[in-house]
């Protein structure tokens, strides 16, 4: 298609979107939204064929690269063999994916369990809520400020942002939200070196007296069934907590019969360099929720692993939470291929090394732009740049927005070629670039990413 034709086509699509598409199922960070027509590896392509280096990879769902040949092939094979099957019947891929995940958890945590499937991350969160309610008889949960668990009604009740609940009436089961150990912005104004995890101590104090509202010491019962957490906060801005916090939190929860539900929807499947991000924290959760990268975004599949006691067929019988598309054969076939691929190569090493190389590049960039980059951190290929005012701490949302929009113009230049840069913005103050590049990203592409970020910071800062 000639460029003028494709631009006309883009304009036509945008006009149709304005008229016929709900805006509720998307987010318009850029207005009008950007249209892409192709993708490959670490790149998205616009209608002019300009490559946009993607540092967010569909919010970490396409971790193994766009059009990953091996995973695409697995999908095509399944398309030609058994693409459709109602969930009441069995197919091999479902059983094998469940067995491999449960066996991995048993090996890693020494705990037996089962796997239950659904379609999206929020739906799997709903399922985990049912399991907690069913096992504990309680419908109240603890969760973290800055946490994100999805936007269905149940998931919104345990997601901290009131903005997501505001229009939808009263949430009787709204979680009790607790400070996350976000050390760069410690809400108590303390420093990690000397704080002795003061924030966890504060949580623990809730149980010291019945008048602190959550615990009845006479019968040793809590009003809360579970504590929901992300081992690294995703939407909250790729906030990496200190391990010691979670070791203590686990003790506190165990002591008070509160289950730990680990939301790995964004950080699971090696994003942080471990299969489950919680493995960095040295604790064993009772339930793990997963989604996104397991199928590289090809066919949605999500699910939960729960320890046996919580999910026995007697306790959680057939029909407890089934959905027409849960464990569909296209998704499970890709998931199985993903798991095989992960077993054949050392992804821990691969992601950790690439992450360290990228982080070193970002730190160098921070030295060049200390007046705008307040914090730079990373765990594996989950990396963050916190954009701040020259005082190094005040969030600079305006600059973040300008950089985000400029990246999508597609007019950056490197090596005599035009590029765009795809970024994602998160964080409590919407001033954090949450970088989740493809695991297939090369060193040259990481260098290119740093170069393009450098150009964007230079271009967008008002000096
Ligand atoms: C940690 C976490 N949990 C749950 C969800 C919800 O998943 P989905 O968008 O697939 O419903 C997300 C989505 O970004 C997430 O990051």
**Listed residue (385, 379, 386) closest to 354, CA to CA:** 379
The string of pLDDT tens digits covering residues 142-152 is 999 999 999 99
SS3 (DSSP) at 112: coil
Asked if the model's pLDDT at residue 3 lies above 70, the reply is no
pLDDT at 6: 79
Asked if the model's pLDDT at residue 31 lies above 80, the reply is yes
H/E stretch holding 71: helix 69-81
**Listed residue (301, 330, 297) closest to 438, CA to CA:** 297
Q: pLDDT band for 5, please (50, 70, 90 cuts).
A: confident
pLDDT at 463: 52
The reply to whether CATH 2.30.110.10 applies to domain 36-67+347-460 is no
Query: What distance in angstroms lies between residue 266's CA and the mean position of ligand 1's atoms?
Result: 6
Mean pLDDT of all residues in 62-73: 98
Q: pLDDT band for 371, please (50, 70, 90 cuts).
A: very high
CB-based burial, 357-373: b 16+ in 10 Å, e otherwise: ebbebbeebbeebeebb
Mean pLDDT of all residues in 111-131: 98
The string of pLDDT tens digits covering residues 201-236 is 999 999 999 999 999 999 999 999 999 999 999 999
Q: Are 36-67+347-460 and 71-344 equal in CATH topology?
A: no
Q: Is 266 in the pocket of ligand 1 (CB under 6 A)?
A: yes
Q: pLDDT band for 306, please (50, 70, 90 cuts).
A: very high
Query: What distance in angstroms lies between residue 122's CA and the mean position of ligand 1's atoms?
Result: 6
Closest ligand 1 atom to the C-alpha of 264?
1
Q: Is 407 in the pocket of ligand 1 (CB under 6 A)?
A: no
The string of pLDDT tens digits covering residues 400-418 is 999 999 999 999 999 999 9
The string of pLDDT tens digits covering residues 156-199 is 999 999 999 999 999 999 999 999 999 999 999 999 999 999 99
The DSSP 8-state label assigned to residue 257 in this structure reads T
pLDDT at 28: 80
Nearest CA owner, ligand 1 atom 16: 266
Bigger pLDDT: 2 or 459? 459
Asked if the model's pLDDT at residue 2 lies above 90, the reply is no
pLDDT at 27: 84
Nearest CA owner, ligand 1 atom 3: 149
Q: pLDDT band for 90, please (50, 70, 90 cuts).
A: very high
For 214, list phi and psi in degrees, rounded to 5. Answer: -125, -5
Architecture of domain 71-344: 3-Layer(aba) Sandwich (3.40)
Q: pLDDT band for 141, please (50, 70, 90 cuts).
A: very high
Query: What distance in angstroms lies between residue 61's CA and the mean position of ligand 1's atoms?
Result: 10
Query: What distance in angstroms lies between residue 300's CA and the mean position of ligand 1's atoms?
Result: 12
Start-end of H helices in 142-197: 153-157, 192-195
What residues does each domain of the chain span? 36-67+347-460, 71-344
Question: 169 Cβ partners below 8 Å, 6+ apart?
Answer: none
Mean pLDDT of the chain: 96
Query: What distance in angstroms lies between residue 248's CA and the mean position of ligand 1's atoms?
Result: 26
Closest ligand 1 atom to the C-alpha of 302?
10
pLDDT at 1: 64
- On whether the pTM is more than 0.95, the answer is yes
């Amino acid at each position: 298609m000639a460029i003028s034709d494709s631009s006309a086509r883009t304009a036509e699509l945008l006009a149709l979107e304005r008229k016929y598409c709900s805006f509720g199922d998307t987010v318009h960070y850029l207005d009008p939204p950007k249209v892409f027509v192709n993708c490959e590896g670490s790149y998205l392509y616009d209608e002019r064929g300009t490559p946009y280096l993607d540092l967010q990879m569909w919010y970490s769902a396409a971790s193994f690269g766009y059009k990953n040949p091996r995973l695409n092939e697995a999908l095509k094979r399944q398309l030609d063999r058994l693409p459709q099957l109602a969930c009441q019947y069995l197919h091999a891929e479902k059983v094998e994916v469940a067995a491999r995940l449960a066996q991995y958890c048993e090996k890693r945590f020494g705990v037996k369990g089962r796997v239950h499937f659904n379609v999206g991350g929020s739906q799997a969160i709903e399922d985990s809520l049912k399991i907690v309610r069913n096992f504990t008889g309680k419908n109240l949960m603890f969760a973290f400020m800055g946490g994100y668990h999805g936007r269905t009604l149940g998931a919104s009740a345990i997601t901290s942002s009131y903005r997501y609940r505001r229009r939808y009436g009263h949430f009787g089961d709204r979680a009790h939200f607790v400070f996350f150990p976000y050390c760069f912005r410690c809400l108590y104004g303390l420093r990690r070196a000397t704080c002795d995890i003061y924030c966890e101590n504060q949580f623990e104090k809730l149980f010291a007296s019945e008048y602190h509202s959550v615990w009845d010491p006479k019968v040793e019962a809590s009003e809360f069934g579970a504590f929901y957490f992300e081992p690294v906060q995703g939407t909250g801005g790729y906030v990496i907590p200190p391990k010691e916090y979670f070791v203590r939190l686990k003790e506190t929860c165990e002591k008070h019969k509160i289950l730990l539900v680990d939301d790995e929807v964004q950080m699971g499947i090696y994003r942080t360099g471990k299969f489950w991000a919680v493995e960095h924290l040295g604790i064993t959760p009772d339930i793990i929720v997963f989604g996104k990268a397991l199928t590289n975004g090809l066919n949605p599949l999500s699910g939960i692993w729960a320890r046996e006691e919580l999910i026995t067929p007697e306790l959680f019988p057939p029909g407890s939470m089934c959905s027409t598309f849960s464990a569909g054969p296209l998704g499970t076939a890709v998931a199985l291929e993903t798991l095989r691929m992960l077993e054949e190569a050392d992804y821990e090493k691969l992601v950790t090394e690439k992450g360290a190389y990228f982080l070193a590049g970002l730190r160098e960039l921070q030295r060049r732009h200390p007046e705008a980059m307040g914090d730079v951190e990373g765990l594996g290929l989950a990396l963050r740049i916190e954009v701040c005012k020259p005082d190094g701490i005040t969030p600079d949302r305006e600059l973040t927005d300008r950089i985000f929009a400029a990246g999508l113009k597609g007019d950056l230049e490197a090596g005599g070629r035009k590029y765009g840069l795809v970024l994602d913005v998160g964080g409590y103050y919407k001033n954090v670039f949450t970088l989740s590049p493809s695991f297939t990203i090369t060193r040259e592409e990481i260098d290119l990413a740093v170069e393009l970020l450098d150009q964007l910071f230079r271009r967008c800062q008002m000096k």
